[in-house]
Amino acid sequence: MTTALYDVPGPRTRQRHRLYGLVSTVLILALLGWILYLLFATGQFTAAKWTPFTYKGIQELLLRGLGNTLKAFALAAVLSLALGGVLATGRLSVHRIVRWLCTLLVEFFRAMPVLVMIFFIYVALKAEPLVALVSGLTLYNGSVLAEVFRSGVHSVDRGQREAAYALGMHKTQVMTQVLVPQAVRAMLPAIISQLVVALKDTSLGYLITYEEFLHAGKLIASNLDYDLPFIPVVMIISPIYIGMCMLLSWLAHWVSRRQRRNPKVEATEVAAPEPGTLLPGGRRPRG
C-alpha cells in the first residue's frame, strides 16, 4: 500500500520504529534521572534553599519583579508595534527621501546590539532604568517588526493592489482596507516570535538595576543566609518565563484561527415575481 507522498511502513519498519521510540524514551529518562541525581547530590532540595520562598517578603519581591517585567514588556510591545508600523510605512513610501531615511534607521537599529542601546540611553542620556530598557527594546524590536510588516505587505498578490486602484481607492485605503488585513495572516507568526524575543530581553534590565523578575531572582539566589539557592530560583523563574511565552504563542494561534474563519453567507428568500414582470432579456416568468 502507498500514499500520495510515501510508502506505508510495513510490519518490520513499524517494529523498528517502536524500537527507536523505546530506546529514545529510555535515554531521555536516563538523562532526567542523572540530572535529578546531581541535584540531590549537590543538596539543591534541602530545606535551607527552599525555605525563603515561604516568606511573604520573598514572595512579594518576586511578584513585584514579575509586575515590573510585564510592565516593561507591555510598553515595549506597544511602542515597538507602533514604531514598526511607522518605519514600514516609510519604507513603502513613494517618496525616495522618506524611503531612504527609514531604511537607514531600520538597518542601523537592527544591527545595533540591544544591550549597547540600553546602556547608551541609561549612561549617556542619564535616563531612568525603565525608560532606558523600554527605549532600547523599542528601537531594536521596532526596526525588526518594520521589516516584518514590509515583507507581509509585499506578500499580498499584486493583483489585489491593482484591483483596488482600479476601483478608485486611494493609497491609504488600499493599504488599510486591502493589503494590511490580508498581510496580517502572513505576518502574525513573525510578530509573535519577535514579541517573545522582547519579553525575554526584558531580563537585560537587571544590568542597569531595573527591578524586574530576573533581578529579583538574582537577589534571592545570591543570599548567603539561604545557602545560595541558585538552582531553586531557576526552577521557579524558568517555568514562569516559559508559561508567558506559551501564552503569547497560544494568543497568536487563537487570532490566526479566527482570521481563517470565513464568514458564512446565508441565502435570503427571493419573492416570486409579480404577474407581468419582465425578467432580464425581456422574458416573462413561467406560470
pLDDT tens-digit profile of 207-229?
888 989 988 888 888 887 777 88
Which tens digits make up the pLDDT trace of 109-167? Answer: 999 999 999 999 999 999 999 999 999 999 999 999 999 988 888 777 777 777 877 87
Range from 30-34, 234-238, 275-279 carrying the lowest mean pLDDT: 275-279
Q: Find the mean pLDDT for residues 8-23.
A: 85
Query: Which residues span the domain enclosing 121?
Result: 47-258
Residue 52 has a pLDDT of 85
Within-domain flag for 185: yes
Within-domain flag for 23: no
Q: In whole angstroms, what is the distance from residue 105 CA to residue 89 CA? A: 13
CA angle 145, 147, 148 (to 5 degrees): 60
Count of CA atoms in the C-beta half-sphere (13 A) of 191: 23
DSSP H stretches of helix in the chain: 11-41, 47-50, 56-91, 96-111, 114-119, 129-154, 158-166, 171-173, 180-201, 213-221, 230-260
Query: How far is CA 76 from its chain centroid?
Result: 13
Residue 31 has pLDDT above 90, yes or no: yes
Q: Which amino acid is present at 228?
A: L
Which band of pLDDT confidence, cut at 50, 70 and 90, is reported for residue 286? Answer: low
Query: 7: which strand partners?
Result: 2
Q: In whole angstroms, what is the distance from residue 76 CA to residue 65 CA? A: 16
Within-domain flag for 41: no
Within-domain flag for 74: yes
Within-domain flag for 196: yes
Which band of pLDDT confidence, cut at 50, 70 and 90, is reported for residue 29? Answer: very high
Within-domain flag for 32: no
The more confident residue out of 71 and 258 is 71
CATH code of the domain in which 199 resides = 1.10.3720.10
Q: In whole angstroms, what is the distance from residue 176 CA to residue 161 CA? A: 11
Closest CA to 49 of 221, 217, 237: 221
Within-domain flag for 217: yes
Within-domain flag for 149: yes
Q: In whole angstroms, what is the distance from residue 33 CA to residue 92 CA? A: 55
Q: In whole angstroms, what is the distance from residue 188 CA to residue 192 CA? A: 6
Q: In whole angstroms, what is the distance from residue 219 CA to residue 216 CA? A: 5
Q: In whole angstroms, what is the distance from residue 89 CA to residue 99 CA? A: 9
Q: What percent of the chain has pLDDT over 90?
A: 33
When divided into structural domains, the chain yields a total of: 1
Q: Find the mean pLDDT for residues 177-201.
A: 83
The more confident residue out of 28 and 186 is 28
Residue 3 has a pLDDT of 53
Query: 145: which strand partners?
Result: none
Which tens digits make up the pLDDT trace of 252-268? Answer: 778 777 766 644 434 44
Query: Rg of the chain's alpha carbons, rounded to an integer?
Result: 29
The burial of 23, by beta-carbon neighbours within 10 Å (0-12 exposed, 13-18 middle, 19 or more buried), is given as exposed
